[in-house]
Amino acid sequence: MSPDSPTVGGREAAVLQRIEAFRRRRPRLTDDVVTLAHGAGGKASAALVDAVFLEPFANEALAALADGACLTLPSGERIAMSTDSFVVKPHRFPGGSIGHLAVHGTVNDLAVMGARPRWLSAAFVLEEGFSIDELRDVVADMAEAASVAGVEIVTGDTKVVDRGAADGLYITTTGIGVIPAGRELGPQQVQPGDVVLVSGTIADHGMAVMLARGDLALEADIRSDTAPLASLVDALIQAAPSTRWLRDATRGGVGTVCNELARDTNLAVVLDEALLPVAPAVAGACDLLGIDPLYVANEGKLIAIVPPDEADAALSTLKGHPQGVNAARIGDIRAEPEAIVVLLTSFGGTRIVDMLVGDPLPRIC
3-state SS of 55-106 is CCCCCHHHHCCCCCEEEECCCCCEEEEEEEEECCCCCEECCEEHHHHHHHHH
Percent of the chain residues topping a pLDDT of 70: 91
Does residue 335 share a domain with residue 211? Answer: yes
Helices (H), 240-331: 253-265, 280-289, 311-319
If you average pLDDT over each of 1-5, 79-83, 208-212, 352-356, which comes out highest? 79-83
Does residue 243 share a domain with residue 296? Answer: yes
Residue-wise pLDDT for 178-231, tens only, equals 999 999 999 999 999 999 999 999 999 999 999 999 877 778 899 999 999 999
Does residue 210 share a domain with residue 192? Answer: yes
0.85 cut: is pTM over it? yes
In a domain, 298, yes or no: yes
In a domain, 198, yes or no: yes
In a domain, 144, yes or no: yes
Antiparallel, parallel or unpaired: β 268-272 and 341-344 = parallel
One-letter amino acid at 171 equals I
Task: Work out whether the CA dihedral 153, 66, 187, 15 comes out positive or negative.
Answer: positive
What are phi and psi for residue 284, nearest 5 degrees?
-65, -45
Which of 5-14, 35-44, 272-281, 340-349 is predicted with the least confidence, judged by mean pLDDT? Answer: 5-14
Task: Work out whether the CA dihedral 203, 204, 207, 210 comes out positive or negative.
Answer: negative
Q: Residue 212 CA to chain centroid, in angstroms?
A: 21
Percent of the chain residues topping a pLDDT of 90: 75
Does residue 84 share a domain with residue 135? Answer: yes
Give the pLDDT score at 362.
76
Output the domain CATH number for residue 292.
3.90.650.10
What does the radius of gyration of the chain's CA atoms come to, in whole angstroms? 21
What are phi and psi for residue 169, nearest 5 degrees?
-160, 130
In a domain, 68, yes or no: no
The number of residues making up the chain comes to 365
Q: Which of 21, 14, 41, 66 is nearest to 339 (CA)?
A: 21
- pLDDT, averaged across the chain: 91
Does residue 247 share a domain with residue 192? Answer: yes
Q: What angle do CA 127, 132, 138 make, to 5 degrees?
A: 85
Q: Which residues of 234-257 are buried (b: 16+ CB within 10 A; e: fewer)?
A: bbbbebbeebbbbbbbbbbbbbbb
Does residue 240 share a domain with residue 302? Answer: yes
CA-CA distance, 293 to 151, in Å (whole number)? 31
In a domain, 47, yes or no: no
Does residue 204 share a domain with residue 333? Answer: yes
Whether residue 90 is preceded by a cis peptide bond, meaning omega within 30 degrees of 0, is yes
Bridge partners of 124, per DSSP, are: 158, 171
Query: What range does the domain containing 167 cover?
Result: 78-182
Question: 107 in helix, strand or coil?
Answer: helix
One-letter amino acid at 161 equals V
Give the pLDDT score at 361.
74
How many folded domains does the chain comprise? 2
CA-CA distance, 81 to 109, in Å (whole number)? 9
In a domain, 243, yes or no: yes
Whether residue 228 is preceded by a cis peptide bond, meaning omega within 30 degrees of 0, is no
Residue-wise pLDDT for 117-173, tens only, equals 999 999 999 999 999 999 999 999 999 999 999 999 999 999 999 999 999 999 999
Does residue 290 share a domain with residue 205? Answer: yes
Give the pLDDT score at 355.
84
Does residue 243 share a domain with residue 106? Answer: no
In a domain, 5, yes or no: no
Antiparallel, parallel or unpaired: β 195-198 and 350-352 = unpaired
Does residue 247 contact residue 302 with C-beta atoms inside 8 Å?
yes
